Structure 1
Amino acid sequence: MRDFPLGVVIVTFNSGGEAVDCAESLLAAAQAAGVRLRVALVDNASDDDTVARLRGWASGETPYAAPVGLPFDLSPVAKPLDLREGGADLAPDPGARLTLLHNAANRGFAGGVNVGLAYLAQFSDIEHFWVLNPDSVVPPEALTALVETLPKAGDYALMGGRVTYLDPSDMIQIDGGKVNMATGVTANIHLGQSHNDTPPPASDELDFIMGASMIASRAFYEEVGPMREEYFLYYEEVDWAMRRGDRPLLFCEGLRIYHHAGSSIGSPTLSRLASPFSLYFKHRGRMMFLRRFAPKRSLLTGYGYTLAYAARLLLRHRAPEEAHAVLAAAFGLRPPASVRARLSGPAAEIAFAAPKRTALL
């Protein structure tokens, strides 16, 4: 086994079972590739048994069994694992390969990721940071492709690969994203297409890398800084990519993960309308993004899209609660009660804080 200059951030919130599968598959893939990684699990103040599940898995007290229907073979790694724990200000330990960091509150996606990035950045041997969703699993060949590609990547900003659904496992969720600067609407490249029949995109087609599987170079992170946390959910990675300057976005062929896709927050799928909670933060983030990057040219069309989208929810889908969430989010109104009920205490204060009126870029 050799050390590899890659740190991995996995943010958890009430996702213990999924996070265990993610971490197990990642470490098994690293073992197959013959490399050692540094992995930071960041718990966003889960109020269920997520932390207990992670501890039981790492200690070996809870024997690991791969989920039924996994589309690749998974050989569990030997236990116990040396799991170090601490708060967001935990000092680096050169011997620590697996760390569980505890946030005092649910700080949202970017808030959790930023804690993991700040911790891993203290290790001078790490040159690349991989952000990985807890509801994803990593087949061995994905990490092998990444290990082969990163040493040749040059001075890049962000790198991604293919994300397919866990079920059906041949269907692509995203190969990187596009963003319409008139409306702020994002689109998933190759969404719904067959993995086996679809070639990878060219890197210059990409506007952003999906946060479910996103690698950042140290040079990019140190120059641009962390992700902006005021989005809470959605658009953090789009914003981050827009600040990359001349550094390119790259696509790593062979880096394919499988993703449950928004099971906890109700993100949309090809067969399911997004939940009011998901719609609220998606459309709030869309307008925050437009105000930051295209305030004069696109706000009119951004609000116009909001009205058209809400009308479609009402007329085509008979979804008044979802339409209310979209309108409240885009126009800065009080969030619907069903959305507010999903968060409480410090998490609600963070999530529903008034967006910062920051200068362009």
Structure 2
Amino acid sequence: MNIALILNYKAATETISCAESLLEHCPLLNHILVIDNHSMDGSEEALRDWVAQKSLENVTVLGSPENNGYAGGNNFGIRWALEHLNAETFWVVNNDTYVDYDAFTPLLETLQQNDRQFVGSLILSADDKTLECYGGGKLFPLLGKAKLLGKGETPETMIERNEQPDYLMGCSLAFTRRVIDEIGLMDENYFMYSEEVDWQYRAKRTGIGIQVVPTSRLFHYGSLSSGSRSAFYHYYRNRAATRFNKRYYGPLFAFISAFILSAITAIKEIRNPNLIWSGVKGAFKGVTMSVK
């Protein structure tokens, strides 16, 4: 069974729009799981009302008992699908996206050729249809930063260049049950940011790869869950970056990157000392967190 998972947090209208586009254009999806990540704002009820009013037998709304971030919410849905739906193929889709054609079949066909990989789509801006990223991005670990691959380029240019990302965006990420059986689920200790990157790097250690499927394209409205200049953003983004570095490059590397990332945050937010402090706290908290 082929399952799409859409994580909702206080954005029921956008989530419904995303799900309806998948229902309309992706016939090989057998079921859509909408996971409300403990929104506590009426979102779960609105989503259930939508399913009931439309009599959607191939859509299930799950209410997570707590907000455990991107990884926790999607893991909750994956576990449920494995237990109740005999799911074999999963497609994680951001709720602030939509499709206007069948973007799932190319992903499925690629996984049928090799089920030991993650596959991702081209992500285009919903506003002006320009390329936001060619599947994912490039990592600069010591800086604690990543750069979207192909942003502003044309899809045709990127296809011709054939440059591959270091990781695939969780905005559109497909994989098989076999991958889960081999490496497990996402690390929920990140809470936000780097979860899917960590997952893919963990998979690489066992020979599981990644692949961009340029014939699969989603349109993206932009982040709905966090602001790009909030204390929340700086704390969790920096914490995730240094924790990731500690796991894959060692404690000393993570410690050095925490200083560099703190300096970068200070330069960017020089007029906002509270934001600087949140970023610094996050960077060094990541260094102290346990990793395996």
TM-score between both structures, scaled by the size of structure 2: 0.90
Distance 1:355 1:221, change over 3 A: farther
Asked whether the 8 Å contact 1:171–1:193 carries over to 2, the reply is yes
Distance 1:191 1:328, change over 3 A: same
Give RMSD over aligned pairs. 2.4
Q: Which residue in 2 is equivalent to 1:7?
A: 3
Asked whether the 8 Å contact 2:133–2:150 carries over to 1, the reply is yes
Q: Which residue in 2 is equivalent to 1:175?
A: 135
Asked whether the 8 Å contact 2:99–2:219 carries over to 1, the reply is yes
Asked whether the 8 Å contact 1:110–1:232 carries over to 2, the reply is yes
Distance 1:123 1:150, change over 3 A: farther
The structure carrying a bigger helix percent of its residues is 2
Unaligned regions of 5+ residues in structure 1, if any?
A: 61-78, 83-96, 268-273, 334-353
Q: What is the CA distance between 1:355 and its match in structure 2?
A: 6.9
Distance 1:132 1:355, change over 3 A: farther
Residues 16-73 of structure 1: per-residue CA shift (max 9 Å, x gap) = 0111001101111124xxx34222111111121212321232233xxxxxxxxxxxxx
Are residue 303 (structure 1) and residue 251 (structure 2) matched?
Answer: no
- SS of the residue aligned with 1:302? helix
Q: Which amino acid aligns with 2:46?
A: R
The share of aligned pairs that are identical, in percent, is 28
Are residue 105 (structure 1) and residue 101 (structure 2) matched?
Answer: no
Task: Give the distance between the partners of 2:235 and 2:168, measured in 1 at CA.
Answer: 22
Q: Which residue in 2 is equivalent to 1:218?
A: 177
Asked whether the 8 Å contact 1:202–1:251 carries over to 2, the reply is no
Q: What is the CA distance between 1:169 and its match in structure 2?
A: 2.1
Q: Which amino acid aligns with 1:295?
A: G
Distance 1:119 1:278, change over 3 A: same
Q: Which runs of 4+ in 1 moved over 6 A?
A: none
Task: Give the distance between the partners of 1:10 and 1:111, measured in 2 at CA.
Answer: 13
Q: Which amino acid aligns with 2:153?
A: Q
Q: Number of aligned pairs?
A: 290
Q: Which residue in 2 is equivalent to 1:331?
A: 284
- SS of the residue aligned with 2:179? helix
The 5 Å alignment of 1:42-57 reads: 42-57=35-50
- Select between 208-217 and 167-176 the one with higher mean Cα deviation: 167-176
Task: Give the distance between the partners of 1:44 and 1:117, measured in 2 at CA.
Answer: 14
- SS of the residue aligned with 2:106? helix
Asked whether the 8 Å contact 2:236–2:282 carries over to 1, the reply is yes
Q: Which residue in 1 is equivalent to 2:244?
A: 289
Asked whether the 8 Å contact 1:170–1:196 carries over to 2, the reply is no
Q: What is the CA distance between 1:193 and its match in structure 2?
A: 2.8
Q: What is the CA distance between 1:320 and its match in structure 2?
A: 2.7
Are residue 233 (structure 1) and residue 183 (structure 2) matched?
Answer: no
Q: Which residue in 2 is equivalent to 1:193?
A: 153
Q: Which residue in 2 is equivalent to 1:19?
A: 15
Task: Give the distance between the partners of 1:250 and 1:156, measured in 2 at CA.
Answer: 11
Larger radius of gyration: 1
Q: Which residue in 2 is equivalent to 1:357?
A: 290
Distance 1:191 1:144, change over 3 A: same
Distance 1:201 1:259, change over 3 A: farther
Q: Which amino acid aligns with 2:249?
A: A
Task: Give the distance between the partners of 1:249 and 1:173, measured in 2 at CA.
Answer: 15
Q: Which residue in 2 is equivalent to 1:80?
A: 55
Q: What is the CA distance between 1:325 and its match in structure 2?
A: 1.9
Asked whether the 8 Å contact 1:177–1:189 carries over to 2, the reply is yes
Q: Which amino acid aligns with 1:311?
A: A
Asked whether the 8 Å contact 2:144–2:238 carries over to 1, the reply is no
Asked whether the 8 Å contact 2:21–2:98 carries over to 1, the reply is yes
- SS of the residue aligned with 2:214? strand
Distance 1:28 1:50, change over 3 A: same
- SS of the residue aligned with 1:169? coil
Q: What is the CA distance between 1:196 and its match in structure 2?
A: 5.9
Task: Give the distance between the partners of 1:39 and 1:98, measured in 2 at CA.
Answer: 5
Q: Which amino acid aligns with 2:278?
A: A
TM-score between both structures, scaled by the size of structure 1: 0.74
Asked whether the 8 Å contact 2:38–2:64 carries over to 1, the reply is yes
Q: Which residue in 1 is equivalent to 2:32?
A: 39
